[in-house]
């Protein structure tokens, strides 16, 4: 049995090669950023300054969380691998891990975790 709260995972890592693993420290999160579309369906080019004030991405790995000032133990993170997140603009550090460009952001810069759900549309007459 673990002492971690339900839904909290200690930390995760990214395997770079069979002998190397990269693990975020503290409250840092590795994010694979979604590319914002550069143009509309009709072909109008959207400048970077007009693409929005938030950014989106997918959680690839995360650290154990900040340490509790009372116990000195990591507090855990309320994330899991694969979570889709919205995070603050102008934040994070770009890194390349195994040829893949990732962004390292702090948990406090994550605004929300979101998901998309498939909606069942009732057949006509129901």
DSSP string, 79-100: --TT-EEEE-SS--EEEEETTE
Whole-number pLDDT of residue 118: 60
Whole-number pLDDT of residue 107: 93
Domains of the chain, residue spans: 14-34+50-114
Rg (CA), the chain: 18
Whole-number pLDDT of residue 6: 45
Q: What is the pTM of this model?
A: 0.68
| Superfamily of domain 14-34+50-114 in the CATH hierarchy | GroES chaperonin (2.30.33.40)
Spatial neighbors of 36 by CB under 8 A, at least 6 apart, are: 46, 51, 52, 55, 56
Whole-number pLDDT of residue 7: 46
Whole-number pLDDT of residue 4: 44
Low-confidence ranges of the chain (pLDDT < 50): 1-8, 39
């Amino acid at each position: 049995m673990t002492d971690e709260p339900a839904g909290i995972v200690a930390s995760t890592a990214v395997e770079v090669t069979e002998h190397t693993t990269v693990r975020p420290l503290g409250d840092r999160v590795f994010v694979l950023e979604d590319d914002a579309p550069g143009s509309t369906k009709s072909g109008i080019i959207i400048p970077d300054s007009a693409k929005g004030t938030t950014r989106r991405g997918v959680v690839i790995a995360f650290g154990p969380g900040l340490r509790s000032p009372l116990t000195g133990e990591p507090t855990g993170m309320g994330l899991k691998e694969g979570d889709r997140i919205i995070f603050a603009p102008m934040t994070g550090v770009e890194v390349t891990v195994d040829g893949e460009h990732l962004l390292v952001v702090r948990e406090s810069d994550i605004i929300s975790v979101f998901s998309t759900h498939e909606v069942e549309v009732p057949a006509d007459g129901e």
